[in-house]
Copies of this chain bind each other. A is one copy, B any other.
């Protein structure tokens, strides 16, 4: 028996990603398969004949992101890096090839230099080894990060789930690579997210909180990797937090009365659902006050940071096309939408 000195249900910290992936396949043996010798999960029936492949990936620790969204109507493959570390280029290359049925592959990449660089290299590798056609979109929905020439740009966070959903639906409906990419980019252009943390997370490797957060302070504008946020303030109540996050996203998206949105109140992994619903209550009130119509409201753990307590709020401005794509049925471990 290995003694672990932190409070986690793990064995060797170095084995956690490998064991998690096996545990996922054991939970969904008919839906998921692991590519031999890699940390890539794919649809058991990949590549799906006649369909554009959609793949994603990134560091582990964000479960159910990414592999939780593999399935009919969403992702064909997802690559898991070490905790909070992008997957490696060679595995991304293998995943791309495994998900190509001849119609090409779209990569959904979150805007982190590690992810972008490894995906770019992975795409090069896949193109060298086969004649797969590959494109990618970079999701950068985090409105907390200043977007200027002098930064790496905004981070990709929970808005990515909407990209998977819309692009996945388009692909399932027979869209070609260019159409699928257009839809993905459309979501990227219309989605914004802002997050906050009540506590830091603790990675299996480090075994202690990534940042110190005193009892009476919270972080605003955090990402999903245990990076400290843009601002630290005193503890606020749920309504004030919700107002702060929502205002920032609304400002960024420049949403006016009459707009129609889909929303996510996302938990960071250590937040009780009770609290997420308390946040959703105020979010929907604010939108109502501004005459913004919520077409659909998701509440839950969609893209987490291990055991961090906190939440993020995502708004996506809809049009008829996106609404139709979000309603398309989907069946994945983490998200199911049923036919009406």
- Contact surface of A with B, Cβ cutoff 8 Å: 1-5, 7-11, 16, 19-24, 26-28, 60-61, 63-64, 68, 198-199, 215-216, 218, 235-241, 265, 269-285, 294, 297-299, 301, 304, 306-307, 309-311, 329, 331, 336, 338
Contacts and interface: CB of A to CB of B under 8 A. Distances in A.
B306 A274 contact: yes
Contacts of A277: 19-21, 23-24, 27, 63
Counting chain B CB atoms within 10 Å of each CB, which of A68, A274, A279, A336 scores highest?
A274
B11 A237 contact: yes
B278 A9 contact: yes
Given A22-B281, A23-B281, A7 B307 contact: no
15 contacts: A1-B236, A4-B237, A7-B199, A7-B235, A8-B275, A11-B237, A19-B238, A20-B274, A20-B275, A23-B280, A27-B265, A68-B273, A274-B306, A301-B301, A331-B338
A77 B151 CA distance: 51
Contacts of A273: 63-64, 68, 269, 301, 304
Contacts of A240: 1
A62 to B, nearest CB: 9
Counting chain B CB atoms within 10 Å of each CB, which of A10, A241, A310 scores highest?
A10
